Structure 1
Amino acid sequence: MSIGESGGFEVKRVFIGAGCNRIVNNVSWGACGLVSFGAQNAVAIYCPKSAQILTTLPANRASVNCTHWLPSSKFAFRAKQLEQHYLLAGDADGAIVLWEMSLSDGKWRRVLQIPLSHKKGVTCVNGIMVSQTEAMFASTSSDGTICLWQLVLPMAKGGDCELLCLDSFSVGPKPMVALALAELPGNNGQIVLAMGGLDNKIHLYCGGRTGKLVRACELKGHTDWIRSLDFSLPVSTKGESSSIFLVSSSQDKGIRIWKMALRSSLSDGHAIYKKEEISLSSYIEGPVLVAGPYSFQISLESLLIGHEDWVYSVEWQPPLASSMEGDSYYQPQSILSASMDKAMMIWQPEKTSGIWMNVVTVGELSHCALGFYGGHWSPHGDSILAHGYGGSFHLWKNVDNDNWLPQRVPSGHFASVTDIAWARSGDYVLSVSHDQTTRIYAPWKTEASLQTGESWHEIARPQVHGHDFNCVTIVQSKGNHRFVSGAEEKVARVFEAPSSFLKTLNNSSLQKSCSSDDFQSDVQILGANMSALGLSQKPIYVQAVHETTERNGIDGIDSLETIPDAMPTVFTEPPIEDQLAWHTLWPESHKLYGHGNEIFSLCCDHGGELVASSCKAQSANVAEIWLWLVGSWKAVGRLHSHILTVTQLEFSYDDNYLLSVSRDRHFSVFRITRTGTGEISYNLLTKQEGHKRIIWSCSWNPQGHEFATGSRDKTVKIWAVQGESMVKQLMTLPQFHSSVTAVSWVSPNNRRNDGLLAVGMESGLIELWNLSFSQTNLGASLAVRMDALLCHVSSVNRLSWRKKREDEKSMKLASCGADHCVRVFEVTTD
């Protein structure tokens, strides 16, 4: 899991929180039971059983547009003996990367990057397993090209994959955005490729497994962009495979099922197609598809109308075993569709008439913004997964005879995560992001997890805002949890935990009583409501809850004209997406006015008495640092030193000094003096040019007045406050390979002369450095260079150590980055 270069430390990843890129074709559910999705330019892998993200794969340089498993859930019946599963990921630069996962140990290997054949972003990748060791896949791009590939997989683990480009062509001036690939019935080695896109037509191409594809025919009927295509497996009648179905969905809100029925072979001279008895379910004949010596009559089997908005995905239910033993499988006639109308539907033909009907609808009452981008079946067909506009997942499981119930899923930000902070108690991590949400992650402990280890989940979304967030700090004083957030507005906002969150937190940490330092049992605010413009969140008081329930009805169903009242809830298990988005808001208690530009940095002192803030600045007047008194929230100081944006602020652990670093390449140290009457005085101790480029980050030694600064010049420097007005440089760490964007200092043994410095870089990598210093000797050695699979894949925005408890052998390190991820690591010392 980690590489230690000077020994003594082991790093284990505890948690990853990440949202899904908001793009169609981004998610794939593999035959191995794992789900892949793009999170910025990483591919995240999550396990539906544990609702945890297992790892992120750092191969792609641009944002990941689409992922596809080989074999996918459709070919789970062919994957029983497979030890290695493969994953394709296409990105916005036109690159496709192939990964190999070993089922036995769960390890990943980057196999190869497909030769760059697309000039623009890859929009769809779709593949089939032809045999245990051979796969074919097609890719399409917004440059209008379609490529067909043959992939020969190795028999043994770690072997080489053979890749061959079978064909590359363009359909027309309008790009294709949906692909489906299938083997035609008849065991004739013929492949059919269906594609659809911006010209509203479905184009069918045919060919052998090793040759070029030939244009066969077009299917017309949709009146808007084709968004999704999927072939069924060949349907058997009387023991012979004679037909195959294609389902298509479009922005015209409709779904069409096309039947491709095998006619007799052309080679016998009798190409006569015997019409079946005309029925309601098959009444419109289409073109004839010729594939080698065979021809197929295409007819429109059914037109499914039910969704009220664009239908982004359709997918056939994967094949199921027809008996407990044996290798015979059948594919149920069941289609899953997902739409921007916030609903997923399952369609099946009626047993008597054969007319396709909507038999299951889920998700239509959710509050997720703008609906679903895609829907997917689990390999056994007992669960369905949707991913939505808010980067969120929604999972339903068929628990009993079409009783589909929501299940837990991983969650996270869907834009760059800009700041994180640990709660004073260390029970949770708070993060803010450019996706305009604030989220709280915590380990949810159960009696069983005390033996197996804790699993982390998002337990609250305190603030859903109308501006992108830049920074956050948690107020460190006793009492109820409070935080201050800063966004792309000139106002900082203060929030206080409602009673519903405090009780939920008690449930998550298995605290049976409410006697904790951070809990006040007489809290009268139960939760908060969202305002119409998404800015201020109004409190919901305990006595008002009964009125809200009566007015809203039991389910709190909303209409288009009004924003429904939230129903603050005390959760006894981790909440799901719809609950998080609506019912876990915190009320806003204060606004802090004063800055001239958008808030950029915040910090709170360790006694919980002062909050410091800064904003974006291009002049000395605007670059001032404001001090706010916790409680009254009055401005008690305006500190002048820098001439450009202050990028980070931090109080020393004894709260006597405030350190600031800036884009102007300088750092400043202010002395903060508190009088017995509660008055605050301050003076500038020193201002120095610390680096040759922007200083992004700083951190104090928890046991003294030494501090570290990290800069775009790829260096980290250690400084010490000496005397009344002097700061001296102690050392410079060896130059890093990338710009240093985050540093955080912890004292593993609570001794003044040692430290462990976490360094995060623009490349996403994180290193831990041992620091030791005395009057005569200074030393720094690399303790751990974390494995790239553990780290971020884009710039690390912030690192934060949890305050170490006396009885703990290990330490927790939280990080956040531009790759949309929040990560928590456990660092143990020998």
Structure 2
Amino acid sequence: MSSGDGRGGGRGVGVKGVFIGAGCNRIVNNCSWGACDLVAFGAQNAVAIFNPETAQIWTTLPGHKAAVNCTQWLPSNKFAFRAKKLDRHYLLSGDAAGEIILWEYSVLEGKWRYVQQLPQLHKKGVTCITGIMVSQTEAVFASTSSDSMVYIWEVVFPSTSGGVCELLHLDSLSVGTKPMVALSLSELPGSTGHLVLAMGGLDNKIHLYSGERRGKFVRGCELKGHTDWIRSLDFALPTCTNGEASNVLLVSSSQDRGIRIWKMALKESLDSNQSAYRKEKVSLASYIEGPVLIAGTTSYQISLESLLIGHEDWVYSVEWQPPSNASSEGIAYCQPQSILSASMDKTMMIWKPEKTSGIWMNVVTVGELSHCALGFYGGHWSPNGDSILAHGYGGSFHLWKNVGTEYENWQPQKVPSGHFAAIADIAWGRSGQYLLSVSHDQTTRIFAPWKNEASPRDEESWHEIARPQVHGHDINCVAIIQGKGNHRFVSGADEKVARVFEAPLSFLKTLDHAISQTSDFSDDSQVGVQILGANMSALGLSQKPIYVHAEQHTPDKNVNDGLDTLETIPDAVPVVLTEPPIEDQLAWHTLWPESHKLYGHGNELFALCSDHDGKLVASSCKAQSAAVAEIWLWQIGSWKAVGRLQSHTLTVTQMEFSHDDKFLLAVSRDRQFSVFSIDKAGTDEITYQLVAKQEAHKRIIWACSWNPYGYEFATGSRDKTVKIWTVENESSVKLLATLPQFSSSVMALSWVGLDCNSNEGLLAVGMENGLIELWNLSVKRSDDGVAGAVASLVVRLEPLMCHVSAVNRLAWRNCKNEDSGSLQLASCGADQCVRVFQVNIN
């Protein structure tokens, strides 16, 4: 993980990244697995890097202003056998605005460096980048875009770390009105020094261009056969016979559900050995002669080697298995006859030729049982060929590893997971054991540290452990409320209803495993919980409970058996998880049952908060008039609406109860804040009164947060300022301090106490540009009230640790039992990322 330290103010504070959760952009070519054994993928406009060994995202690289469409490692997994001794690897990433950025990764230091942005030649989104290493320090790569242009570049890498990369634009190819969406580069066999570029796209043909290393690329020939868009192309490394490369294989896949293998053979070798070839027992199909590719003075005969039929939907990607290292020097290689394909039919397949007949067969199929995957956008081999990774429609990863020794046995493995759209809100569990997040991807997810018993230092790694809500609307806000074991939440989405969810028994027991019995609640929390889990109804939005004793009855046979209808979705099987779950378990078997709906608002819900007692919930919705902008108060338990607070004229963007629940603070798009006094008379009755209302900023107020020790609060606005206020005599509000102007709009605030006696705390500030700062706040009090507030910047988090677009919410972890010298801060943002930081105070 990235780490960064800052010094400033009265205290020394060190910050390090603990966890990043993010989903993959739902687009083909988005993901790539490099020779350095790291996987790169686009998460909104960030390039995320994860380590398949630990299933943890290491870092996100900021730089793109638009969504990242494609990534490509140099060297790629295909050249892993040559890259064993490299201490620097490079990564290319292209985005939806046409920008391509080159990054450098230092293996020894584990550090990343933004090298440069390529001159922006593409006018529209980059859809595919392909590249090959032509020597240890030189690479050639090509990029294509929906602007119907293909650009070819050469890059020379520096001999020393941090040196300058030399970039040379070799050629520009215009492909007409139908753009290319798939590319692959290869060196041609023989000693010609020529390269071949294959491209395919919307015209259903494969176009071959050849060129010298630093020369222009000329159109060679077209390969016809596919009947729909070509989605993926991949050259094998040239196969060697008697020490000399004589031919190269190209595999292509298409939306026509077919995969084709093409053979390019040196023409001379084909003529001289014609009679020898004829004697071998091979199928006639191998000799259906196609066009001839001429590169310089050499010509290559192309033939269709094989047609692979097996997928039932579009085949989005095909990839040759990376060569194994055949010598200790890492120069010679053996190209395996093995292809991985990934399709929208929810499967990945490995194809190999049969030993006797040479006919290509599907030997491994994985993924077909996942009713939730909704198809795969791409599949990739690990550099050593023992693992395969797919990324799917739900922004999810699926990884299988061959754990067999004598025979192949592919088993699912842990992968990072996260949201695949902007994350709107986060909340810590009441005892701080887990973090709950809600997103515009219409899911609610729970992330928690999972104690690793196998680890000698009893380390914990974070994982997604449940997906309580899968909804038909974008979810905007969430609040954790009191419930059995304090595991109950209310969420609000782009509908006018707030929904209440209860933790089922399967989750409570799973949480015990995750925190290894070190929790501050005992098994009492599970006593009396009769609900084991929940089922999703096929067409509805409500999640129905599955009761503990229901499983003992013999289920009736489904009357629709054998019929593929919307109603026959499989039942969930909630189980107690003893290790972090994989995507299939998360998406189907970890739902929470919905217990109540809260009706009342006139528009889409926007903000929620709960008091510290867990007895009241406040909610607000999108509003453009005072009547709609009222805040509703709901009583937990009876679920009655016990108050409608009127003050604002536009959407209330955030609300928070004071530390003793006496006041409710609300901030709004109308640039004003309101402070209400809330009085719980002990009965069901609640009285409330508007104490103060003030126009506080020049632009929308996005965020607010109370001082945990007093009646001071902070407000943050689009006008790039943070102001500190205090409630005086429970009747008026006074401005204490205005922090120096920030570099970007302030979107999120969270105040945590450090020292009750000196009334000192840390204020976390999150901005629209994704950056986070920590400020030391000390409130000075005199005999007649509050005298003022002193603020000082303690640490600016490194950009590599922060979000790459707007921070939507910040939240300090409630850790009453932990040493006060160490705190944890969670953040979420528009870049699809949930982050947790460890803040160490000296």
Question: Does residue 817 of the first structure (1) align with residue 829 of the second (2)?
Answer: yes
State the alpha-carbon separation in 2 of the partners of residues 533 and 196 from structure 1. Answer: 39
Question: Does residue 418 of the first structure (1) align with residue 424 of the second (2)?
Answer: yes
Aligned to 1:375: 379
| Residue number among 314, 322, 334 corresponding to 2:338 in the alignment | 334
After the TM superposition, which residues 261-300 of structure 1 pair with which residues of structure 2 at under 5 Å, given as runs?
Answer: 261-264=265-268, 276-277=277-278, 279-280=283-284, 282-300=286-304
Q: Tell me the SS of whatever aligns to 1:77.
A: helix
What residue identity is the alignment partner of 1:682? Y
What residue identity is the alignment partner of 1:755? G
Question: Does residue 769 of the first structure (1) align with residue 775 of the second (2)?
Answer: yes
Contact map agreement 2:481 2:487 (CA 8 A) in 1: yes
Aligned to 2:350: 346
Aligned to 1:465: 471
Contact map agreement 1:372 1:386 (CA 8 A) in 2: yes
Question: Does residue 137 of the first structure (1) align with residue 141 of the second (2)?
Answer: yes
Q: Tell me the SS of whatever aligns to 1:507.
A: helix
What residue identity is the alignment partner of 2:473? H
| Residue number among 154, 159, 169 corresponding to 2:158 in the alignment | 154
What residue identity is the alignment partner of 1:516? S
Aligned to 2:796: 785
With over 3 angstroms needed to count, the CA separation of the structure-2 counterparts of 1:256 and 1:444, relative to structure 1, is same
Aligned to 1:357: 361
By how many angstroms is 1:452 displaced?
5.6
By how many angstroms is 1:516 displaced?
2.3
- Per-residue CA deviations over 1:497-522 (Å, capped at 9, x if unaligned) read 00000000000000189952871322
What residue identity is the alignment partner of 2:798? D
| Residue number among 739, 744, 750 corresponding to 1:738 in the alignment | 744
With over 3 angstroms needed to count, the CA separation of the structure-2 counterparts of 1:47 and 1:221, relative to structure 1, is same
State the alpha-carbon separation in 2 of the partners of residues 409 and 117 from structure 1. Answer: 36
With over 3 angstroms needed to count, the CA separation of the structure-2 counterparts of 1:275 and 1:194, relative to structure 1, is farther
Give the aligned length: 826
Please, what TM-score do these two structures have when normalized by structure 1? Answer: 0.97
Q: Tell me the SS of whatever aligns to 2:259.
A: strand
Question: Does residue 193 of the first structure (1) align with residue 191 of the second (2)?
Answer: no
- Per-residue CA deviations over 1:556-583 (Å, capped at 9, x if unaligned) read 9987651111000100000000100000
State the alpha-carbon separation in 2 of the partners of residues 548 and 614 from structure 1. Answer: 45
Aligned to 1:256: 260
After the TM superposition, which residues 507-522 of structure 1 pair with which residues of structure 2 at under 5 Å, given as runs?
Answer: 507-511=513-517, 516=522, 519-522=525-528
- Per-residue CA deviations over 1:194-231 (Å, capped at 9, x if unaligned) read 00000000000001001000100000000000000000
| Residue number among 206, 219, 224 corresponding to 1:220 in the alignment | 224
State the alpha-carbon separation in 1 of the partners of residues 565 and 755 from structure 2. Answer: 57
With over 3 angstroms needed to count, the CA separation of the structure-2 counterparts of 1:433 and 1:671, relative to structure 1, is same
What residue identity is the alignment partner of 1:190? H
Question: Does residue 45 of the first structure (1) align with residue 49 of the second (2)?
Answer: yes
- Per-residue CA deviations over 1:118-163 (Å, capped at 9, x if unaligned) read 0000000000000100000000000000000000011111111000
Contact map agreement 1:419 1:472 (CA 8 A) in 2: yes
- Per-residue CA deviations over 1:290-331 (Å, capped at 9, x if unaligned) read 111211100000000000000000000000023677643201
What residue identity is the alignment partner of 1:46? F
Q: Tell me the SS of whatever aligns to 2:24.
A: coil
Please, what TM-score do these two structures have when normalized by structure 2? Answer: 0.96
By how many angstroms is 1:532 displaced?
1.6
State the alpha-carbon separation in 1 of the partners of residues 4 and 239 from structure 2. Answer: 50
- Per-residue CA deviations over 1:521-562 (Å, capped at 9, x if unaligned) read 221100000012251000000111244778589xx9987651
Q: Tell me the SS of whatever aligns to 1:747.
A: strand
Contact map agreement 1:263 1:272 (CA 8 A) in 2: no
| Residue number among 298, 301, 304 corresponding to 2:305 in the alignment | 301
Q: Tell me the SS of whatever aligns to 1:405.
A: strand
Aligned to 1:2: 4
- Per-residue CA deviations over 1:351-400 (Å, capped at 9, x if unaligned) read 00000000000001102242000000000000000000000000000000
Q: Tell me the SS of whatever aligns to 1:631.
A: coil
Contact map agreement 1:248 1:257 (CA 8 A) in 2: yes
Q: Tell me the SS of whatever aligns to 1:545.
A: helix
State the alpha-carbon separation in 2 of the partners of residues 673 and 191 from structure 1. Answer: 78
Aligned to 2:587: 581
After the TM superposition, which residues 47-66 of structure 1 pair with which residues of structure 2 at under 5 Å, given as runs?
Answer: 47-66=51-70
| Residue number among 112, 125, 141 corresponding to 1:108 in the alignment | 112
What residue identity is the alignment partner of 2:730? E
What residue identity is the alignment partner of 1:795? A
What residue identity is the alignment partner of 2:512? N
After the TM superposition, which residues 673-752 of structure 1 pair with which residues of structure 2 at under 5 Å, given as runs?
Answer: 673-751=679-757
State the alpha-carbon separation in 2 of the partners of residues 597 and 634 from structure 1. Answer: 19
By how many angstroms is 1:264 displaced?
1.9
- Per-residue CA deviations over 1:596-645 (Å, capped at 9, x if unaligned) read 00110000000001000000000001000000011111111110000000
**Percent of aligned positions with the same letter in both sequences?**
73
Structure 1: tracts of 5 or more residues without a match: none
Deviates more, 1:181-190 or 1:409-418: 181-190
With over 3 angstroms needed to count, the CA separation of the structure-2 counterparts of 1:548 and 1:702, relative to structure 1, is farther
| Residue number among 627, 642, 663 corresponding to 2:633 in the alignment | 627
With over 3 angstroms needed to count, the CA separation of the structure-2 counterparts of 1:518 and 1:229, relative to structure 1, is farther
| Residue number among 67, 71, 74 corresponding to 2:71 in the alignment | 67
Contact map agreement 2:724 2:789 (CA 8 A) in 1: no
| Residue number among 89, 94, 97 corresponding to 1:85 in the alignment | 89
What residue identity is the alignment partner of 1:316? W
Question: Does residue 523 of the first structure (1) align with residue 529 of the second (2)?
Answer: yes
Contact map agreement 1:265 1:295 (CA 8 A) in 2: no
State the alpha-carbon separation in 2 of the partners of residues 512 and 112 from structure 1. Answer: 48
- Per-residue CA deviations over 1:422-462 (Å, capped at 9, x if unaligned) read 00010000000000000000000022447163100000000
State the alpha-carbon separation in 2 of the partners of residues 552 and 357 from structure 1. Answer: 36
Aligned to 1:24: 28
State the alpha-carbon separation in 2 of the partners of residues 680 and 288 from structure 1. Answer: 85
Aligned to 2:813: 802
By how many angstroms is 1:238 displaced?
2.5
By how many angstroms is 1:279 displaced?
2.2
Q: Tell me the SS of whatever aligns to 1:32.
A: coil
Q: Tell me the SS of whatever aligns to 1:8.
A: strand
Contact map agreement 1:626 1:635 (CA 8 A) in 2: yes
State the alpha-carbon separation in 1 of the partners of residues 327 and 368 from structure 2. Answer: 35
State the alpha-carbon separation in 2 of the partners of residues 741 and 636 from structure 1. Answer: 30
State the alpha-carbon separation in 1 of the partners of residues 486 and 458 from structure 2. Answer: 31
What residue identity is the alignment partner of 1:530? M
State the alpha-carbon separation in 1 of the partners of residues 150 and 833 from structure 2. Answer: 32
Contact map agreement 1:466 1:533 (CA 8 A) in 2: no
State the alpha-carbon separation in 2 of the partners of residues 407 and 548 from structure 1. Answer: 33
Question: Does residue 563 of the first structure (1) align with residue 569 of the second (2)?
Answer: yes
With over 3 angstroms needed to count, the CA separation of the structure-2 counterparts of 1:561 and 1:184, relative to structure 1, is farther
By how many angstroms is 1:743 displaced?
0.3
- Per-residue CA deviations over 1:781-820 (Å, capped at 9, x if unaligned) read 0000000000000000000001232432311100000000
With over 3 angstroms needed to count, the CA separation of the structure-2 counterparts of 1:765 and 1:195, relative to structure 1, is same
State the alpha-carbon separation in 2 of the partners of residues 454 and 558 from structure 1. Answer: 43
Aligned to 2:610: 604
With over 3 angstroms needed to count, the CA separation of the structure-2 counterparts of 1:764 and 1:549, relative to structure 1, is farther
By how many angstroms is 1:285 displaced?
1.0
With over 3 angstroms needed to count, the CA separation of the structure-2 counterparts of 1:219 and 1:560, relative to structure 1, is farther
- Per-residue CA deviations over 1:688-721 (Å, capped at 9, x if unaligned) read 0010100000000011110000000000000001
Aligned to 1:398: 402
- Per-residue CA deviations over 1:744-802 (Å, capped at 9, x if unaligned) read 00012334621100000000000000011213453110000000000000000000001
